[in-house]
Structure 1
Amino acid sequence: MSAAVDEIDIAIIGAGIVGIVAAAYLAEAGRKVTVFDRTGVCEETSSGNAGAFAFSDVLPLAHKGMMRNVPKWLADPLGPLTIPPAYLPKLAPWLFRFWRAGAPANYEASLAAQAGLMKLAEQEWASLMARSGTGSMLREDGSLELYEREAEFKAALPSWAARDRFGIAYRHLEKHELANYQPGLADRFTRGTFVPGWKTVSDPKDLGKAIWRHAEVSGASFVKGDVGLVRPAGDRILIQLKQGRTLFARQVLIAAGAWSHLLARQLGDVIPLETERGYNTTLPTGAFDVKRQLIFSGHGFVITPLATGLRVGGAVELGGISRAPNYARSKAMLEKARKFLPGLDTSGGREWMGFRPSLPDSLPVIGGSRSQAGVHYAFGHGHLGLTQAAATGRLVRERMLGQKSAIDLTPFSAQRF
């Protein structure tokens, strides 16, 4: 083995937003970090998300409102939630865990853990953006959640009350106030909720690449390659790329998003990760003058004004990582958006599909391997990878360097399942 070529200090598998932010934190601490990815920096799921710092989004997906809506949503093949029938048998164990996560005791524990992670995330993103010179990419316009019926609004009130416990600010709006927050809405919307602390970024891919440049300045490096094997090799961890190259690392962080559990399984950790396939269409910037992120929770999608276009997307398709995309879902959301914003120009859009790595209790895995002290995990953030990346980066740095953790990592353990 050639130490100069084949032995590295810290290997990070995955160059999505979580991986590259972790690389930045570790490189800032003086560690030699090498990031591996099959495509590039923030080129896959982290490139096409809705661009939100959703620090107020603390409720686990398996909350009561979600469970109540599931049967209605599943009845619509192009609705907010769909499961391809052929995939249902494979998905059944995950769905059972998801249902269990909605039990009151489990729900309360997940809510508290998520709120703690979000508080840290907001602090850490502010610090990281200052250090990396990316503050100009932050937009602090808040968000506007919209309701079409009074019953829909009332059904959402318990979820807002849950946020009260964590000091999350919001303001419920009457119909006549909506135009002050977003002119040009369809008349069908009867109520709204404005969240002033909700933030977005000018473009998530651009932000990720800017954070990576900061990591590079601190000494991080990138290797393009698809990791197929991770296993212990004495006091090192062997990493084998599918392209044939073999390397040895002192420590490894697996942050490969929807593919992470496949690598964790090689190390004896069976983690019930599923893939929420999300769809969107990014329209040209002049498609409509959207003032802030608009959230249509009853339909499972958002509209985000980015510097690079108007992004219409969301919804959940629980269908794994190998099925072909169903872009009819993107088109269905775009058609709804046209009805919700009369005058929206839906021409010239770019369709996209990405894989959100999701765990049944809506909490990510941030911790270590059951059997290998040098292997660490940071994946499973679901819809919140961008939001929680900076908190995860700090927690990973503390864990890998043997420092005291900013928050209790027990709820995020890979062994909790």
Structure 2
Amino acid sequence: MTRSPSSPRPDPDVLIIGAGVIGLSAALAARARGLSVRVIDREGPAAGASAGNAGALAFSDIFPLASPKIIAQAPKWLLDPLGPLSVPPAYAPRLAPWLWRFWRASSPARVRASTVAQTAMMRVSEAAMRPFLIGNGLLGYLRNEGQLQVYEGAREFQASLPGWEARAAEGIAFEHLTTPEAIAQVQPGLAARFTHATFTPGWYSVSDPKLYTLALADVLREKGVEIVVAEARALTGGGVETSQGLMKAGKIVLAAGAFSHHLARSAGVKIPLETERGYNTTLPANAFDLRTQVTFGGHGFVVTRLSTGLRVGGAVELGGLERAPNFARAEAMLTKAAAFLPGLETSGGVQWMGFRPSLPDSLPAIGALPGRAEVICAFGHGHLGLTQSMGTAEIVADLLTGRAPGFDLTPFSPSRFARHA
């Protein structure tokens, strides 16, 4: 059981800040290397975005969010406050510096570089998946039901083809479906407006992201790792100042998701982390006969079958950590889902909003915090935290034990933002 400390304990080799899927996965990888580990979190395991995501292990998502395509679509989307991308007007001035960096990261040259880096990260993460799950007795959470990306008309489908050609060059398997009959064989019941689709058979997911993350915590406890409910307030020269007092360790892993930049700032490092507020509604499991994850890319949301229900969610609201949730966004996606999946039963759903930690170039920060070699960053994965969790865990374990990771970490270095400090 997760509990707060009541008596002095030996300082661990590693103190991990954050009990989401990244922090807990890193804790398991560090423990497997023989390190003693303690995890702290302000709310406990699976309290944030790790609980409410779509459950996808999206290894084929190699393209950064920052891109010319998004820049071109953004003006239209931003005019719709309930659309795929929104910025609350009152938050726009605070967001301006991040948006400027996002725009710079959207140049063709930087998109190519980010795509190369993201592809390498996906390879590492996919290679780590089965050994990690098998080694921790969690393979039963893995599903392979594929993913269906649907398009409204030939024009939208044709516009997607360069991206699929790039995926094919990386060995990613897929099948284009260009007739209603072919689409219905994969997923019956879609509205006739979706005339084309692409099916990715190698798309993996977990049966339920919250239950999976809680299972990570259970495995850690079985391995003797303490998970403490305590708020990390500042990085100090001697460790981490928390709501339970000063905690020390030889190494610190900063994996606090959307709150990570506040802790980095306490060490004098300014990292431009922003919060993508994601929304969803989880319906009862019998709400629709869903056979694969369906992605409505033109509308910015997905529908996923979990062991605990049917989840309709996605979109991006760049609105920070403090604003109250705008659940009209979840309702708008659910209304669209009912139109796109005729027969979907929309009653009995549970709404959710969570914070995705996003950096302007769409790459996570993995590596030593500038000026603090003992602090290893592992945050900023955006929509891909679950997807990249097992790969990130192995990289962090390498950094903790002085082993060179198997690929170039330079594009992910937290110091890439040092010029903005």
1:208 to 213, 219, 239: 213
Deviation (angstroms), 1:9? 2.2
**Structure 1 residues 337, 3: closer, same or farther in 2, change over 3 A?**
closer
Moved more, 141-150 or 377-386: 141-150
The answer for the alignment partner of 2:187 in structure 1 is 182
Deviation string 1:234-275 (CA, Å, 9 cap, x unpaired) is xxx2x2223x42222211101000000110111222111100
Q: Distance in 2 between matches of 1:94 and 1:157?
A: 30
Deviation string 1:123-175 (CA, Å, 9 cap, x unpaired) is 11111111112112111111000011211111111221221221111111113
The answer for the alignment partner of 1:366 in structure 2 is 366
Deviation (angstroms), 1:291? 0.2
The answer for the alignment partner of 1:143 in structure 2 is 147
For 1:333, the aligned partner's letter is M
The answer for the alignment partner of 1:241 in structure 2 is 242
Moved more, 114-123 or 37-46: 37-46
The answer for the alignment partner of 2:320 in structure 1 is 320
The answer for the alignment partner of 1:25 in structure 2 is 29
Q: Distance in 2 between matches of 1:81 and 1:272?
A: 19
Q: How does 1:12-411 map to 2 (within 5 A)?
A: 12-176=16-180, 177-233=182-238, 237=239, 239-242=240-243, 244-411=244-411
**Structure 1 residues 16, 309: closer, same or farther in 2, change over 3 A?**
same
CA contact (8 A) 1:28 1:218 kept: no
CA contact (8 A) 2:234 2:267 kept: no
Deviation (angstroms), 1:357? 0.2
Q: Distance in 1 between matches of 2:258 and 2:366?
A: 15
Q: Distance in 2 between matches of 1:305 and 1:209?
A: 19
Q: Distance in 1 between matches of 2:219 and 2:408?
A: 28
For 2:359, the aligned partner's letter is L
Using the size of structure 2 for normalisation, the TM-score is 0.95
Deviation (angstroms), 1:64? 2.6
SS of 1:249 mapped into structure 2? coil
Moved more, 25-34 or 164-173: 164-173
Q: Distance in 2 between matches of 1:320 and 1:287?
A: 32
Deviation (angstroms), 1:367? 0.3
Deviation string 1:315-359 (CA, Å, 9 cap, x unpaired) is 000000000000000000000000011111000000000000001
Task: Provide the aligned C-alpha RMSD in A.
Answer: 1.3
SS of 2:12 mapped into structure 1? strand
SS of 1:58 mapped into structure 2? coil
Deviation (angstroms), 1:282? 0.1
Q: Distance in 2 between matches of 1:377 and 1:314?
A: 26
Q: Distance in 2 between matches of 1:247 and 1:23?
A: 16
CA contact (8 A) 1:172 1:192 kept: yes
Q: How many residues end up aligned between the 2 structures?
A: 411
Deviation string 1:269-302 (CA, Å, 9 cap, x unpaired) is 2111100000000000000010010000000000
SS of 2:75 mapped into structure 1? helix
SS of 1:353 mapped into structure 2? strand
Deviation (angstroms), 1:3? 11
CA contact (8 A) 2:68 2:108 kept: no
Percent identity reads: 52
For 2:334, the aligned partner's letter is L
Deviation (angstroms), 1:67? 1.8
Deviation string 1:378-409 (CA, Å, 9 cap, x unpaired) is 00000000000000000000001101212111
Unaligned segments of structure 2, at least 5 residues: 1-5
The answer for the alignment partner of 2:3 in structure 1 is none
The answer for the alignment partner of 1:412 in structure 2 is 412
Q: Distance in 1 between matches of 2:268 and 2:405?
A: 25
Deviation (angstroms), 1:65? 2.0
CA contact (8 A) 1:65 1:156 kept: no
Moved more, 69-78 or 51-60: 69-78
Q: Distance in 2 between matches of 1:7 and 1:120?
A: 31
CA contact (8 A) 1:24 1:212 kept: no
For 1:93, the aligned partner's letter is P
Q: Distance in 1 between matches of 2:146 and 2:340?
A: 19
Moved more, 208-217 or 147-156: 208-217
SS of 1:317 mapped into structure 2? strand
Using the size of structure 1 for normalisation, the TM-score is 0.96
CA contact (8 A) 1:65 1:155 kept: no
Moved more, 386-395 or 24-33: 24-33
Deviation string 1:197-253 (CA, Å, 9 cap, x unpaired) is 1111110111112122222223321010111111113xxx2x2223x4222221110
**Structure 1 residues 227, 353: closer, same or farther in 2, change over 3 A?**
same
Q: Distance in 2 between matches of 1:112 and 1:390?
A: 19
